[in-house]
Chains A and B, each alone.
Chain A
Amino acid sequence: MIAIGLDIGSTTTKIAVMEERKLLYTEIVPTGYNVEKTWKELFAATRERLNLEMEMIGGIVSTGYGRNSVDIATRRVTEIMCHAAGIRYSLPGTRSIIDIGGQDSKFIQLGETGEVTDFKMNDKCAAGTGRFLEVMARALESNLEDFGKLSLVAEKAARISSMCTVFAESEVISLIAKGEARENIIAGIHDSIANRMVSMMGRSGVVTPVAMTGGVARNEGIRSALEKKLGISIEVPATAQVNGAVGAASLAS
């Protein structure tokens, strides 16, 4: 039977399709204003692409902030449980997950059998999230995709002390005005996100192995800043950005 996971996040909507717990297909589209229209179109396009008749689909699990809009879901599960399930699928044995998405960041602790034992989420604030990076990329007139590589060649990370996105943006503008190298500023931005994440995690709660998921996991600069601060290495699964949808599909299997 086919199992489908739909993860409707604030920035992107993801779909994952599994057959007998084998991952067949994933896709990401921007969520946009009309959540319902977005997932319906994505679902229809996926069915068409994979030639899926409705009778072939055994289960649909929806997750993410828009999970309740999916009326065809056989189950609705929170993104924390789905992220945990996704990591159990792609990197079994993981004990801690750092997930940085478009508008929130999470730290999930897993027990020996992969069950969720605790979790922390950022408060209603863009600091330390993908949105924070987007704002900074705009201030630096840079492409977000280049952030990771650029930060790795920085001589030293510039100091950005404000946690607030708005104030941090004006700090970045001051640093540009002072002539600070772009790479150093980007490294400073990554450090600032890593600091925020580490304080949310509380050092005592970090049990290895640690994995990182969410769109921001593709940014090697942030991963490296986190690794330095925590003194550990962090795994990033190939399905990092669609981890929630993969988890949802695995729960639907």
Chain B
Amino acid sequence: MKTFAYFDSGHEFPEEIVMAAGFDPCKILGDVEIGTGPADEYLHNYFCPFARACFTEALSRAGEWAGIGFAHGCDATNRHYDVWRAHIDKPFFWVNTPMKIDATARKFHLRELENFRAGLEREYGIEISDEKLAEAIRLSNRIKNGLKRLAALRAEHDINNLEYLELMNRALTGPRQELPEELERKLDEWQQRPPFPRALEAVLLTGSDVTSPEWMEALEEAGLRVVRDDLSLGERYFRAAIPEDIPPLKALVEYYGAYPQPATRVPSDRRLQYLETAAWENDIRLVISQNLKFCEPYAIDAVWTTGVLKNKGLKIIHLEREYTPTLDQQVITRLETFKEMALQ
């Protein structure tokens, strides 16, 4: 099956329409180990390094893809769309998504999804029927359900931060058809794991998407185990299910109003509510909030989020991180101190 890649700063891109069109969706995630030199040639300094890494990946891998989709998320997605189109010879699709949730926004979103479906049909000479969409939604829900059950095991068993990141990477970039069975097998394996290690502290992770294995490992080395999160490469992707009892495109609109909201959406109350509930559900006291350097949505959001969560009695640390595989000692010291503070 041919791959259709997409650049999405959050979880806004309607993968199910791409699946119904007969493609395997693949979220572009960049690679922290590869320098962003190729993308830097075309981009101004103020773009975040993650978006640069995604563009670098697209410049080298676009030949493998049937097309490239963009979903409106943070400002990087908007401007990158134009830059990528100028330098990569592929069919491009732009899916606008509303930044708020109300009746007008839903109407607008539905129109955008209809346009995207029509655009794919035109470009590839195919028909994306409601039946195919419903089938894709059922597959997507099976995947989300498998991920949700696996992620819940983080709080009970010894499943390290890196394994969770790798699981999410696989789910968002690999073939989808066989994924539900793969997840079932993993579930059997994870359920046999030893209990949650007593030496580690359970944390809730929020902020910019973490795609770097080194960062997840650094948390682990500092004695911090992520058991809940609201990342797009995490719970935001699988926490909510897409309704199966209403017309498929309407179901997607409903879904995007119900999933854990990113910082690009307003108002922030729903986002905060999710974080608070997640901490409460798993009896978590420690929250790690972080943003990638130059990631405006989460840098700005953190001021408000950390303040509110602190007032709710949670211990929270906010870190700005670099997009690099080599972590500096200062970040590790901050993380270790955070754990030591919790144990005082």
Q: Which residues of A contact B (CB under 8 A)?
A: 65, 77-81, 104, 115-117, 119, 121, 123-124
Contacts and interface: CB of A to CB of B under 8 A. Distances in A.
Contacts of A81: 337, 340-341
Contacts of B330: 104, 121, 123-124
Interface string B314-342: 00000010000000111001101100110
A121 B317 CA distance: 12
Contact of B328 (A80, A116, A119, A124): A124
Interface in B39-63: none
Nearest to B340: A81
A79 B340 contact: no
A213 to B, nearest CB: 16
Nearest to A116: B341
Nearest to B310: A118
A80 B337 contact: yes
A116 B221 CA distance: 21
Given A65-B329, A124-B330, A119 B320 contact: no
A226 B320 CA distance: 26
Given A81-B341, A121-B333, 8 more contacts: A77-B340, A80-B337, A80-B340, A115-B344, A117-B341, A119-B337, A123-B320, A124-B330
Contacts of B337: 78, 80-81, 116, 119
Nearest to A123: B320
* B-side interface size class: 10 to 19
Contacts of A65: 329, 333
24 contacts: A65-B333, A77-B340, A78-B333, A78-B336, A78-B340, A79-B333, A80-B337, A80-B340, A81-B337, A104-B330, A115-B341, A115-B344, A116-B337, A116-B340, A116-B341, A116-B344, A119-B337, A121-B330, A121-B333, A121-B334, A123-B320, A123-B330, A124-B328, A124-B330
A81 B344 CA distance: 10
Nearest to A10: B329
A121 B318 CA distance: 11
Contacts of B328: 124
A50 to B, nearest CB: 29
A64 to B, nearest CB: 9
Interface in B258-302: none
Contacts of A121: 330, 333-334
A65 B334 CA distance: 11
A139 B333 CA distance: 32
Interface string B98-113: 0000000000000000
Contacts of A116: 337, 340-341, 344
Nearest to A119: B337
A171 to B, nearest CB: 23
A81 B337 CA distance: 7
A56 B289 CA distance: 44
